[in-house]
């Protein structure tokens, strides 16, 4: 049918026709895109989208097929065992002119007008087969046209090309006089449907039925006949095509090394993904470096090995604390001369560690000093790093008062910590390895014999790093981390660097989530809006919308709680500000409604609808109750009040017991009676019950869950 100008399919007709041909009209699709060495990290980032983008392109051409993707550093491969050889037939439903226009005098048994005859001719229809449909209240001419499917061999080349053009790896490149761009120069594109080769002209080449083997096997092009022949040639030519097989091989060899060499190897998953992506025939080897370099902080050694050389760290014991003077490298050479390979890699690592030792010793001599921070820009329009230190100290003091009260010892420590917290940004080591900021400050502070809490706070100010990262564990670290994050958010908001859509270049969403996680983990009583108002006033942030920033934090709460957002909304509607009370109340509402979702919705929504306007609480007067339904409701309410419940779950559960009494009240008691005293007393009873629940959540919001 025609929907919004796009062709759709008559599914019942299509399925019945195609099902008979399903086993006969298919072939094995195999595509290899041969390229220069792929950069692992940007490639792996986009590889996650390959399936979705490929299936999207296939759908545009009327094809549905489950495909698999393989990769090595030099090739991207698409494979489908049963790929349709014909695209789906398209059933086009066409609506014509109204009967009144298509036939003279609107008589379907009479002669057709030129408009009607034109419709028949255009749609290849005969008068005796003409159909009619109702459209917008009028009977109109209707025709069904079938657009036969196309042979896939005639369109598979543009399908592959369109898929490749849809890939985005960040930075692309051009080469020679080729106008198209790609992550790396494309050297060949081979497409096969069973044994039939399909040529594609793109990226400055004309695809040929050929491939290349591992570089150790030379650069002679190898003819390919089909996917089976292709796999066989790669296997004989030093290439393991499936990335999962390469991954398993690396892990198996690492495990073997651990057993034979009596060492313990840390499996860094990101590094493992990377070495799998940069090897066609992975070879795991154990190398070593001079023990004297173990004087360096282990993070320096690990970072140098991982970032520069892609080596795995090796430890002396199972708990992975004491670093060993060994490393594990995953090579891509097929040669058996391991000693030669290791020797070259050991020399390179030695040079890098010597540089690191030089930086480390120089930094130790210089110590931690803020001199020079004023020359480091924090962000355009937001001052320098020295300004940031001043703001963070102000925030930390406000946090200290709110979270810990008057604690002079802790105040001295946090102020000293923040004073030197950014000093390691000026160190040679952090200049070389920026991800070691905070870590090096910790080691340098210890070397300067600073208090251990102060030193640890310097490192913990950057925690948490990400979604699953550990949180700061010390009081100084907690305050430093919160001050760092609050200043980042408020400063960047003040200069208009606000996250939009999926764009968050300064990771402010992650910063807000980190703040909430710290507050929740430590169960701090924390009035967020009040705190934001205080630091904006005292620190002097400009152009700040408190409501916008408060909402920004609450949006992060949804992701942390992972509950029905209506539950959180119902709690926030009570104007609750305390972060941990918001969490506790939302979780309590979830516990009760998840086990009995209909316990409140209908009845308590009825209560909320009854109390349209804000009503001032007054004392309930039991002697004014007339009917048994209002008396029993009041008695049950009083029983709950006397329990003085502080546990939110218990309180909601007890309030839920009022449901049948409320139902009977609304069914049998007329509230708006002529006697004002009786009327107001009944209103007060319902209002008191409503307010009782409002201490946890707004029942109007809860009532909307299932409505």
User: Residue 466, Cβ neighbours under 10 Å: how many?
Assistant: 10
Q: Please, which pLDDT band fits residue 4 given cuts at 50, 70 and 90? A: very low
Residues 6+ apart with CB under 8 A from 67: 29, 51, 54, 55, 78, 79, 80, 83
- Alpha carbon 211 to its chain centroid, in Å, reads 37
pLDDT value, residue 108: 86
pLDDT tens digits for range 547-579: 999 999 999 998 899 998 889 998 999 999 999
Q: Which pairs count as long-range contacts for 647-651, CB under 8 Å and 24+ apart, including other chains?
A: 647/588, 648/584, 648/585, 648/587, 648/588, 648/589, 648/696, 649/588, 649/591, 649/592, 651/588, 651/695, 651/696
> What's the whole-number mean pLDDT along residues 441-467?
96
For the cut 90, the answer to whether the pLDDT of residue 295 exceeds it is yes
pLDDT-based confidence at 22, cuts 50/70/90?
very low
Give the residue from 313, 339, 317 showing the smallest Cα distance to 325.
Answer: 313
Which residues does 355 contact at the CB level (< 8 Å), separation at least 6? 432
Q: Residue 592 — pLDDT band, cuts 50, 70, 90?
A: confident
Predicted confidence at residue 135, as pLDDT, reads: 87
What is the predicted pLDDT for the residue at 612?
Answer: 65
- Of all residues in the chain, the percent with pLDDT exceeding 70 is 94
In this prediction, residue 703 has a pLDDT band, given cuts at 50, 70 and 90, of low
Q: Is the pLDDT assigned to residue 365 strictly greater than 80?
A: yes
Q: In which band, very low, low, confident or very high, does the pLDDT at 600 lie, cut at 50, 70 and 90?
A: low
pLDDT-derived band of residue 462, with 50, 70 and 90 as boundaries? Answer: very high
Q: Are 393 and 359 in contact (CB under 8 A)?
A: no
- Per residue in 521-550, pLDDT (tens digit) is 999 999 999 999 999 999 999 999 999 999
pLDDT score of 120 more than 60: yes
Q: What is the pLDDT of residue 308?
A: 85
On whether the CB atoms of residues 82 and 194 are closer than 8 A, the answer is: no
pLDDT tens for each residue of 135-192: 888 899 898 887 778 899 999 999 999 999 999 999 899 999 999 999 999 999 999 9
pLDDT > 90 fraction of the chain, expressed in percent and rounded: 73
Q: CB under 8 Å to 688, separation ≥6 — which residues?
A: 617, 620, 637
CB atoms within 10 A of CB 396: 25
The pLDDT, as a whole number, for residue 126 is 85
| pLDDT-based confidence at residue 501 (cuts at 50, 70, 90) | confident
> Tens digits of per-residue pLDDT, 29-60?
999 999 999 999 999 999 999 999 999 999 99
Give 67-116 as a DSSP string. -EEEEETTEEEEEEEEEESBPPPEEEEEEEEEHHHHBGGG-TTSPBPHHH
* pLDDT class of 89 with cuts at 50, 70, 90: confident
pTM above threshold 0.85? no
pLDDT at 379 over 50: yes
As a whole number, mean pLDDT of residues 472-490 equals 98
Could you report the per-residue pLDDT of 229-285, keeping only the tens digit for each?
999 999 999 999 999 999 999 999 999 999 999 999 999 999 999 999 999 999 999
What distances in angstroms separate CA 234 from CA 155, 213, 237, 614, one per listed residue? Answer: 28, 6, 5, 77
What mean pLDDT do residues 459-486 have? 95
pLDDT at 307: 87
Per-residue confidence (pLDDT) for residue 476, from 0 to 100: 98
Average pLDDT, the chain: 90
More confident residue, 609 or 332: 332
pLDDT exceeds cutoff 80 at 13: no
Q: What is the pLDDT of residues 631-652, one digit of tens each?
A: 999 999 999 999 988 899 999 8
pLDDT in tens, 338-354: 899 999 999 999 999 99
Q: Indicate the pLDDT class of residue 16, thresholds 50, 70 and 90.
A: very low
Tokens of residue 160, six digits: 């592959």
The set of residues, in sequence order, having a beta carbon less than 8 Å from that of 528 and lying 6+ positions away, is 550, 553, 577, 578, 579
β-bridge mates for residue 132, sequence order = 141
pLDDT of residue 606: 76
Listed in sequence order, the residues at least 6 apart from 38 whose beta carbon sits closer than 8 Å to its beta carbon are 71, 73, 74, 76, 183, 184, 277
Is residue 2 pLDDT above 80, yes or no? Answer: no
**Per-residue confidence (pLDDT) for residue 598, from 0 to 100:** 60
Q: Quick check: 599 and 659 in contact, CB under 8 A?
A: yes
Can you give the pLDDT at residue 1? 31
Under the banding of pLDDT at 50, 70 and 90, the label for residue 595 is low
Instruction: Give 456-477 as a 3 state SS string.
Output: HHHHHCCCCCCCCCCCCCCHHH
Per-residue pLDDT reduced to its tens digit, 196-221: 999 999 999 999 999 999 999 999 99
At residue 264, what are phi and psi to the nearest 5 degrees? Answer: -130, 120
- CA–CA separation, 655 vs 696, rounded Å? 11
pLDDT for 407 beyond 70: yes
Cβ atoms within 10 Å, residue 483: 28
What number of CA atoms fall less than 13 Å from residue 228's CA on the CB side? 4
Eight-class DSSP state of 609:
H
Helices (H), 470-614: 475-494, 508-521, 528-535, 546-561, 565-572, 579-595, 601-610
User: What is the per-residue pLDDT for 14?
Assistant: 31
pLDDT exceeds cutoff 90 at 20: no
The sign of the torsion formed by the CA atoms of 517, 518, 523, 529 equals negative
pLDDT at 178: 93
């Amino acid at each position: 049918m025609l929907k919004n100008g796009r062709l759709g399919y008559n599914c019942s007709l299509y399925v019945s026709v195609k099902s008979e041909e399903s086993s006969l009209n298919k072939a094995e699709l195999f595509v290899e895109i041969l390229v220069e060495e792929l950069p692992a990290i940007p490639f792996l980032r986009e590889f996650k989208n390959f399936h979705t983008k490929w299936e999207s392109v296939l759908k545009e051409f009327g094809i549905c097929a489950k495909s698999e993707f393989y990769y090595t550093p030099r090739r991207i491969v698409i494979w489908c065992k049963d790929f349709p050889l014909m695209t789906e037939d398209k059933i086009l439903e066409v609506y014509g002119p109204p009967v009144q226009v298509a036939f003279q005098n609107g008589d379907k048994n009479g002669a057709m007008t030129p408009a009607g005859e034109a419709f028949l001719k255009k749609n290849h229809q005969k008068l005796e087969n003409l159909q009619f449909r109702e459209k917008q209240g009028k009977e109109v001419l209707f025709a069904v046209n079938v657009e036969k499917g196309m042979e896939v061999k005639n369109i598979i080349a543009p399908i592959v090309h369109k898929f490749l053009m849809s890939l985005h790896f960040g930075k692309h490149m051009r080469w020679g006089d080729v106008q198209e761009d790609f992550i790396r120069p494309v050297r060949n594109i081979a497409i096969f449907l069973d044994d039939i080769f399909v040529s594609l002209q793109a990226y400055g080449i004309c695809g040929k039925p050929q491939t290349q083997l591992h570089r150790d096997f030379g650069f002679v092009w190898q003819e390919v006949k089909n996917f089976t022949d292709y796999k066989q040639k790669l296997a004989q030519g030093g290439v393991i095509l499936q990335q999962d097989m390469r991954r398993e091989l690396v892990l198996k060899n690492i495990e073997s090394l651990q057993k034979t060499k009596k060492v313990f190897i840390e499996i860094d998953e990101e590094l493992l993904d990377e070495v799998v992506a940069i090897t066609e025939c992975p070879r795991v080897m154990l190398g070593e470096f001079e023990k004297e370099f173990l004087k360096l902080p282990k993070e320096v050694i690990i970072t140098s090995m991982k970032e520069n050389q892609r080596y795995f760290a090796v430890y002396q014991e199972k708990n992975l604390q004491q670093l060993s003077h060994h490393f594990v490298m995953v090579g891509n050479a097929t040669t058996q001369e391991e000693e030669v390979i290791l020797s070259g890699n050991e020399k390179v690592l030695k040079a890098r560690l010597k540089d690191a030792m030089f930086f480390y010793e120089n930094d130790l001599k210089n110590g931690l000093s803020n001199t020079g921070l004023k020359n480091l820009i924090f962000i355009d329009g937001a001052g320098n790093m020295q300004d940031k230190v001043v703001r963070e100290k102000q925030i930390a003091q406000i946090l200290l008062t709110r979270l810990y009260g008057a604690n002079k010892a802790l105040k001295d420590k946090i102020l000293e910590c923040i004073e030197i917290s950014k000093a390691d940004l000026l160190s040679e080591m952090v200049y070389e390895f920026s991800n070691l900021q905070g870590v090096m400050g910790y080691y340098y502070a210890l070397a300067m014999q600073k208090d251990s809490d102060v030193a640890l706070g310097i490192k913990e100010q950057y925690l948490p790093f990400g979604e699953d990262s550990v949180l700061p564990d010390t009081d100084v670290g907690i305050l430093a981390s919160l001050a760092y994050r609050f200043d980042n958010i408020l400063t960047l908001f003040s200069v208009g660097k606000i996250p939009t859509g999926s764009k968050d270049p300064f990771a402010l969403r992650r910063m807000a989530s980190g703040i909430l996680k710290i507050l929740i983990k430590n169960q701090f009583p924390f009035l967020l809006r009040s705190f934001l108002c205080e630091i904006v006033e005292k620190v002097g942030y400009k152009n700040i919308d408190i409501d916008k920033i408060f909402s920004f934090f609450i949006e992060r709460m949804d992701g942390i709680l992972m509950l029905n957002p209506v539950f959180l909304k119902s709690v926030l509607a009570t104007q609750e500000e305390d972060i941990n009370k918001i969490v506790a109340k939302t979780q309590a509402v979830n516990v009760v409604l998840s086990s009995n979702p209909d316990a409140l919705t209908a009845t308590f929504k009825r209560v909320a609808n009854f109390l349209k306007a804000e009503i001032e609480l007054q004392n309930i007067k039991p002697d004014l109750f007339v009917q048994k339904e209002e008396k029993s409701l009041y008695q049950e309410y009083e029983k709950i009040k006397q329990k003085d419940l502080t546990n939110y779950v218990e309180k909601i559960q007890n309030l839920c017991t009022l449901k049948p009494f409320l139902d009977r009240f609304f069914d049998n008691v007329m509230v708006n009676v002529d006697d004002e005293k009786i009327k107001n007393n009944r209103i007060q009873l319902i209002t008191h019950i409503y307010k009782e629940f409002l201490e946890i959540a707004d029942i109007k919001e809860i009532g909307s869950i299932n409505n």
